[in-house]
Amino acid sequence: MTTMPGGPRRPLPRFPRDFLWGVSTSAQQIEGAVDEDGRGRSAWDAFTAEAGRIKDGSDARVATDHYHRYREDVALLKELGVGAYRFSVSWPRVVPDGSGPVNAAGLDFYDRLVDELLTAGVKPVPTLFHWDTPQRLEAGGGWLRRDTAERFAAYADAVAARLGDRVDRWITLNEPAELTLLGYGLGQHAPGRHLVFDALPAAHHQLLGHGLAVQALRARGATDIGIANSHGPTWPASESEADTGAADLYDLLLNRLFAEPVLLGRYPDEELAALLPGPVAEDLKTISQPLDWYGVNYYQPTLVGAPDPAATAPTDFGGISLPPELPFSPREIKGYPRTDFGWPVVPEALTELLLSFRERYGASLPPIVITENGCSYEGIEDPDRIAFHDAHIRALHEAMSAGVDIRGYFVWSLMDNFEWAEGYARRFGLVHVDFATLTRTPKSSYHWLRDALRDQHDRRDRARG
């Protein structure tokens, strides 16, 4: 990918007038105010309190202090010119124990945020769950328990009851695959459990929670609902039977396991479905509630081969430590630029992914929204981030030109934030945050996107005139 000072300057391809441009954040990563206004503890609060869990020893008690500085952050959104802001609602801020009494003060914050967004002309797009399970629920088993899905639906109903008169677009879950794999399977995210394949009930119960939340939102009159699942192409390391089999298994567990129950009403493998708890066939009817659009979080493809039978030590994969006993082994993708996180930059893989979804799911696939796409780079002058987004926006436009119905693109993220187990060591934001002073400084990429969106509007106006 070619970069230049200030990044690429070719105008972006022209997008439809109603194409939705936005940015994304999550509550645990930016809000702070952990002990204020009745908020309960989250599984991430408990996780960060354990020594050695976070690489820089930090926590999210303050984060970027969005809870107090939301007006400043909405002003940044307005100046940026995006049409939508995808944020998450903190479950423990609204229902501190995960079930039981609703915390009115917590809902008051989201009331204020939604009103501020609407005044600024920015569409609020709340995600109901972005990994911050209330710790009281987590201590009782969390997403390994079926009743967590039911409690999630009750919480979704409480949020919709308060905000539904002003919010018309909703997201139920963010990346259940990562919470299952990293939180319950490998223990490297909250809640820190190392269950490997015994983590699969957490996948099923999150999906069930999604379906029950869709029903709750529909009952409150919602007509614009999606989910944000993480996906990326899986490439076999070779054409050998061992490598292709390992890649197929990885693709099943990280892609198809979370897409097919939602889109097709079935699990991709009968033997896998037999390992899941509860009345799975009945649950799938709930999980596959019709959606108005399907959210895709895309960051990179994965090259996968068979594990080395002689390996005894964990291997590092994009900051994640993978145990040698796994039946697949992600490999380094060579020949592409890399972000400061070490992730390969492969925009054409986004086109591949979107085309493969259309081919795989056909008429069962609703319109797609890219709900996250972003990269970690240091510096306020960030030409590599500009080049990244320029290339990925062109890649999704190529998929649209080939007939894939794509309705929006959300950048991850509005601002630098608490990056989970990495702490504050990785910067994904369009806005730089000085974590000592909390000063916000728009980066070059912020100004580039602002100008690119203005150009989109100007070209539409000229065409209309």
Binding residues: 29, 130, 174, 299, 412, 419-420
Of residues 138, 178, 260, 372, which has the active-site annotation?
372
Which CATH fold topology does 20-202+219-250+290-464 show?
A: TIM Barrel (3.20.20)
Q: Are 265 and 281 in contact (CB under 8 A)?
A: no
pLDDT of residue 459: 84
Written as tens digits, the pLDDT of the chain (465 aa) is 333 344 456 899 999 999 999 999 999 999 999 999 999 999 999 999 999 999 999 999 999 999 999 999 999 999 999 999 999 999 999 999 999 999 999 999 999 999 999 999 999 999 999 999 999 999 999 999 999 999 999 999 999 999 999 999 999 999 999 999 999 999 999 999 999 999 999 999 999 999 999 999 999 999 999 999 999 999 999 999 999 999 999 999 999 999 999 999 999 999 999 999 999 999 999 999 999 999 999 999 999 999 999 888 898 888 899 999 999 999 999 999 999 999 999 999 999 999 999 999 999 999 999 999 999 999 999 999 999 999 999 999 999 999 999 999 999 999 999 999 999 999 999 999 999 999 999 999 999 999 999 999 998 777 776
pLDDT confidence of residue 9: 67
Half-sphere exposure of 93 (CA within 13 A, CB side): 25
Query: Domain residue spans in the chain?
Result: 20-202+219-250+290-464
| pTM recorded for the entire structure | 0.97
**Known binding site for substrate: residues?**
29, 130, 174, 299, 412, 419-420
Report the alpha-carbon distance of residue 372 to residue 216 in Å, rounded.
25
Q: Tokens 């005139």, residue?
A: 465
Is 175 tagged catalytic? Answer: yes
Instruction: Specify the residue for token string 């037999």.
Output: 274
> In angstroms, rounded to a whole number, what is the distance separating the alpha carbons of residues 22 and 410?
4
Active site residue 372: yes
Whether 112 and 70 have beta carbons less than 8 Å apart is answered as yes
Render the burial of 31-55: b for 16+ CB within 10 Å, e for the rest: bbbbeeeebbbbbbbbbbeeeebbe
CA distance linking residue 110 with residue 45, whole number of Å: 20
Q: Give the Cα-Cα-Cα angle 299, 305, 307 (nearest 5 degrees).
A: 120
String of DSSP letters for 238-302:
SSSHHHHHHHHHHHIIIIIHHHHHHHTSS-S-HHHHHTS-S-HHHHHHHHT---S-EEEE----E
Query: CA of 297: how far to CAs of 58, 230, 284, 301, 350, in Å?
Result: 26, 4, 23, 12, 10
Q: Among 31, 116, 138, 175, which one carries the catalytic annotation?
A: 175
